[in-house]
Chains A and B, each alone.
Chain A
Amino acid sequence: GEQVEQLPSSLIVQEGASVLINCSYTDSASVYFPWYKQEPGKRLQFIIDIRSNMERKQNQRLTLLFDKKTKHLSLHITATQPGDSAIYFCSASTGDTNTGKLTFGDGTVLTVKP
């Protein structure tokens, strides 16, 4: 089945810095890639997604890049703020209407120091 790997597992940056979170997957049938974040004590929250017919998607300070050939995604966060401190999860779905199954990575713990 699908496997999703995220790197790094954690990173600490100073407020204002940019960060890059990398994600790779194994199943070439995966077509939909939502990302979620979990702030301390809060629920998992959808932040951005991309489909396999796209290469790039931006939502304010978030930019998601997708390379179908290498089965690789990267989430770029600019001008980080302490409120961005959270665990970020990459996920992949085959988009099969019979399953809707998401396979998650283990997460990247981001700490933004003021």
Chain B
Amino acid sequence: DTTVKQNPRYKLARVGKPVNLICSQTMNHDTMYWYQKKPNQAPKLLLFYYDKILNREADTFEKFQSSRPNNSFCSLYIGSAGLEYSAMYLCASSRARGQDTQYFGPGTRLLVL
């Protein structure tokens, strides 16, 4: 089973409120990624976990938090949502790091009003 699952699939949030998105995989992959994708734009890497080590991109360092309580689950947390956070959030996982296929989830569409 190469399925990556994401919950919820759709999320409506108010400006200034927190948002928590969940991703899970049962492939025992070491690495899990979170991307942000806006219409007609490339998926943009926000952060990733290799095992228990979190790596955040420099330009999104303060905007997103994440946790990985076990190998299968990974969350993406926004402390105070702004209008600019409206996007599709994609979770992916891979067996290792570097040159390894990433398997993507269906995404969570977040709309901030």
Contact = CB atoms under 8 A, between A and B. Distances in A.
Interface in B97-112: 97-107
Contact-size category for B: 20 to 34
Interface string A83-112: 000000100010111111111111100000
A32 B98 contact: yes
Given A89-B43, A99-B55, A105-B42, A46 B98 contact: no
A51 B99 contact: yes
Nearest to A31: B99
Contacts of B44: 104
Interface of B: 4, 31, 33, 40-45, 48, 50, 55, 90, 92, 94, 96-107
Given A51-B99, A106-B40, 11 more contacts: A32-B98, A32-B99, A34-B102, A89-B43, A100-B97, A100-B98, A100-B100, A103-B42, A104-B44, A106-B42, A107-B40
